[in-house]
Amino acid sequence: MKLAVLGAGAWGTAISISLARRHSLVLWARDAQQAGEIAATRTNQRYLPGFTIPDAVAVTAELAAALEACDVILVATTTAGLRPTLRRLVAAGNTAPLVWLCKGFETETAQLPHQIAASELPPALPRAVLSGPSFATEIARGLPAALTLASHDPEFAARVARELHGNALRIYSSDDVIGVEVAGALKNVMAIAAGISDGLGLGTNARAALITRGLAEITRLGLKLGGRPATFMGLAGAGDLILTCTGDLSRNRNVGLQLARNIPLPEVLRSLGHVAEGVPTAREADRLARELGVEMPITRAVCRVLDGNVPALEAVQELLQRDPKPEHR
């Protein structure tokens, strides 16, 4: 199968390295200079240093060249980059099925990726989301990982999952697009909270409680939006949440760690060198939750810290002072 991977960030580069072991693949970079550097050095020094990109991966900044005769497109941009990328695909006359890898709510619209796709793509074009616990560096190293590929078309999801499945990469299929996307978006918000907790030295008991109650928040909003309960206990839900809240490679957890030291958010984001999707997603999720009447106290607390309204420690104390309630309701 011939694949086109659109987006030469860490995740796009890592998935290209992984899938090039079994498929013909073109990696598209929006920036011509970056594409030239990657093609010449066979490394992505800016976003994924230390890994050699196989010669089997063609690299280009020409979208038409990337799309030529491809069977499936993998869109590995940020959530903010998804809409403009889809518009370029439509303008190029693309008819190939596509899978997006981004996780988050779009800023200002609070739309999930499948809603963005629905507003930009022809209705009949097959599409899916690929999500789950996956640090880019471990995927590039060929270490074992399991992901979920979800589409409203179960047959398409199963077919593409079979094609991408192999070696150390296990791909499961699902038809719960909403659940997979909500879980993938909100786990980044909870990872910021976990980083704050760890940065304040609150201990592993607190982290376990936060992850568990964070999963409850994710599930509440996900069910309200139309997701299914089982999805939130699966790879895209609990799996990705645990990884992102505990792993040292988590950018969003790192944001929380630095916020706990009272480092201003702009400085935190400059130091990352990558996008932390949890920051814009937290604000959109908080706004959406309030519109829908869904209780999300952890998300609200994260937003207050992000906006500089309260120090991290004060936000934690406010959460601890909430009245006791039944655990399941």
* Given the residues 2, 187, 224, 325, the one annotated as active site: 187
For 11, the token pair is 């995740």
Residue 187 among the catalytic residues: yes
- The answer to whether residues 190 and 222 touch, using CB atoms and an 8 Å cutoff, is no
32-35, long-range: CB < 8 A, 24+ apart? 32/61, 34/8, 34/61, 35/8, 35/59, 35/60, 35/61
What positions carry a catalytic annotation?
187
